[in-house]
Amino acid sequence: MYDSDQDSGGGPAPHSTAWQKALTVVQEVRPPFIPAGAHAMTVVVEHPPGSPGTPPHRHSGPAFGYVIEGEMRLELEGDPERIVRAGEAFWEPGGDVIHYQDGNARDDVPLRFTVTMLCEPDRPMLVLVEEEELARRRHLRAPRPS
């Protein structure tokens, strides 16, 4: 019988070094804050082809995401709209920052992405922003592509 913790000579088996090549860093950021007593929530979001995604909203804490399939149209308050493609990561600071878009940038393939959020206790992980507030903060939105 073979003991996986020992080599054939009776000593400890050498550890594989394959794990050293198995890791790829896709994003490294320093969030501006983490809510006191935060809890983490990881979700998978799926938008069909052409979907505009979630209406303008905000999160109570930072959110870190990765596009699994498709292309996401991402727009955060103060930043220009951009496309995040499958295999790319994104993040948002949360708090007061409005997340304008997370829609599917393509009308021929679905969009699927995962997001891990550090949520403030006893607050919803996502809160929609009312039209009146969007109008008041219009000056904070980056210019739209023409």
Give per-residue pLDDT as tens, 19-40.
888 888 889 998 888 889 999 9
Query: Residue 66 corresponds to which tokens in the numbers above?
Result: 């990765």
Query: Residue 122 corresponds to which tokens in the numbers above?
Result: 């006893």
Q: Is 131 left (phi over 0), alpha (psi -120 to 50) or beta?
A: alpha
pLDDT band at residue 18 using 50, 70 and 90 as cut-offs: confident
DSSP 8-state assignment for residue 70: S
Architecture of domain 50-116: Sandwich (2.60)
Segment 72-88 mean pLDDT: 97
- Check: CB of residue 57 under 8 Å from CB of residue 91: no
* Assessment of whether the complete model's pTM goes beyond 0.75: yes
Task: Give percent above pLDDT 70 in the chain.
Answer: 91
- From residue 102, how far is each of 19, 57, 67, 70 by CA, in Å? 33, 10, 11, 12
One-letter amino acid for residue 26 of the chain: V
Distance (Å, whole) CA 87 – CA 7: 39
